[in-house]
Amino acid sequence: MCLGIPGEVIEILADRTDLARVDVSGVKRAINIGLLSEETVEPGDWVLIHVGFALSKIDEQEAKAAMEFLESIGKAYEDEIAALRNSEIL
């Protein structure tokens, strides 16, 4: 029920601008983007899809920031492990 999946907008339907065809890992479906009427939605945008509706546009900057944070933690962890490995306590 919480199920929301990210999908890429392929095209906005010409005759129904509240509908967009999205691609989820090669599978395409028409979804309703009427809830995003206060934003511009264009092909190439990514949206969160829930029961046939787009609930929100995925913010690429924020996604990038999230990844950078995770990578930094990863790096810090690796550094620590490396430091531990390199320092031997006799």
Partner 1 sequence: MRYVDEFRDADKARALSATIASLCEPGREYKFMEVCGGHTHTIYKHGLEDYLPENITLIHGPGCPVCVIPMGRIDDSIHIARQPNVLMTSFGDMMRVPGSGGNFFDSNAEGTNIRMVYSPLDSLKVARQNPDMHVVFMAIGFETTAPSTAMTLLRAEREGIDNFSVFCNHITIIPAIKAILDSPDLRLDGFIGPGHVSTVIGCHPYEFIARDYGKPIVVAGFEPLDILQSIYMLMLQLKENRSEVENQYSRVVPWNGNPTALRVIAETMELRPYFEWRGLGFISHSALRLRERYARFDAELKFAVPGVRVADPKACQCGEVLKGVLKPWECKVFGTACTPETPIGTCMVSPEGACAAYYNFGRFTRTRVREASLS
Partner 2 sequence: MSAPPSHREQQVLDRIERVRKRRAKVKEERITLSHGSGGKATQTLIEAIFLDAFRNPLLEPLDDAATFTVDGARLALTTDSYVVSPLFFPGGNIGDLAVNGTVNDLAVSGARPLYLTAGFILEEGFPVADLSRIVDSMRAAADAAGVVIATGDTKVVQRGKADGCYINTAGVGVRQDSRDLGMNTVRPGDAVLVSGPIGEHGVTVMLARGELDIEADLVSDTAPVHGLVADLLAATPGVRAMRDATRGGVATILNEVARAADVAVVVDEAAVPVGTEVRGASELLGIDPLYVACEGRIVAIVDGAEADAALAVMRAHPLGREAAIIGRVRPDPPGLVLLNTVFGGTRICDLLVGDPLPRIC
| Least Cβ distance, residue 13 to partner 1 (angstroms) | 14
Structural tokens at position 27: 């599978």
Reported in sequence order, the residue ranges of the chain that DSSP labels E, i.e. its strands, are 5-12, 19-24, 27-32, 46-50, 53-57
Cα gap 9→3, rounded to integer Å: 18
| Least Cβ distance, residue 52 to partner 2 (angstroms) | 8
Binding site residues, partner 2, CB under 8 A: 3, 5, 7, 23-30, 49
In the complex with partner 2, the residue whose CB is nearer, 32 or 57, is 32
| Least Cβ distance, residue 42 to partner 2 (angstroms) | 21
Cα gap 72→3, rounded to integer Å: 29
Q: Which of residues 21-50 bind partner 1 (CB under 8 A)?
A: 24-25, 32, 34-38, 46, 48, 50
Residue 65 binds partner 1 (CB under 8 A): yes
Residue 58 binds partner 1 (CB under 8 A): yes
**9 CA to centre of own chain:** 12
